[in-house]
Amino acid sequence: MASVLVTGSADGIGRETAATLAAAGHRVVLHARDEDRAAHARTAAPGAACVVGDLASLRQTRALAHAAAAHGPLDVVIHNAGLGGGRAERAVTEDGIELLFQVNVLAPYLLTALMPRPRRLVYLTSGLESVGVADLDDPQYERKPWDGMQAYSDSKLLDVVLAFAVARRWPGVLSNAVDPGWIKTRLGGPDATDELPEGAETQVWLATATDATATGRYYKRRRELRANPAAYDIAVQERLLSLCADLTGVALPG
């Protein structure tokens, strides 16, 4: 049985993923943004440990990494937590970093860099990564006009870039990206086409398959797809790692 951390497991796809893993007998470590949401997270896996930390804060993300590591060793980390697009205005965190970029990209990078290496890493992305732009000269929309959906698409592309970069840097770790589909959640909205179990199935499979050997891949419904071409560009991968290291003060080990 595997030991798995699922970030953002208070509701939606993360909660479904945690509940499915727990029901199958795996040891799940839950995560929630605050104590109120932690109570919701615990309903997915009663009795499971739950770590708390707001990914919109570098300080809290660092503390979260240490808290999660204390529940280790972890076999798998599923980077599920994230913010949706569509914000009308650019928002900035307490760290002076654009909110979508910090939560969707910088936080999973920092957790990856600070926590002991698991055997498997799964980064959730979106089909909108296909229209994302890896503009690492201005990833936080400091100079170009704000576009909430484009910023979201960009962040989801950078999640794939991060997954592929880690796969290349850490050959002993299976690091992959997953598009869960358009799922009926608070984030996906009532018009979404797919149900919660479909949104969790690929992450569960990647976390638990006994014959898993693939790394640096992009999946949807257990099928490998081609990602945005920028994700395969080693120069883009290295620039993203360097940018994240500069913003957090933490370099990816190895």
The secondary structure element, H or E, covering residue 250 is none
User: For the chain, what percentages of helix, strand and coil (3-state, to nearest 5) are there?
Assistant: 40, 15, 45
Q: In terms of DSSP H, where are the helices of the chain?
A: 12-23, 35-42, 58-69, 99-101, 107-114, 148-169, 196-208, 234-248
Q: Can you say how many angstroms the Cα of residue 207 is from the centroid of all Cα atoms in its chain? A: 14
Backbone phi, then psi, for 207, in 5-degree steps? -75, -25
Q: Which residues pair with 220 in a beta bridge?
A: 223
Angle formed at CA 17 by CA 42 and CA 49, multiple of 5 degrees: 30
What radius of gyration, in Å, describes the C-alpha atoms of the chain? Answer: 16
Q: How many CB atoms lie within 10 A of CB 150?
A: 18
Angle formed at CA 52 by CA 45 and CA 247, multiple of 5 degrees: 130
DSSP state, residue 178: E
Please list the active-site residues: 152, 156
Q: Is the dihedral of CA 175, 196, 6, 54 positive or negative?
A: positive
Strands 223-225 and 218-220: antiparallel
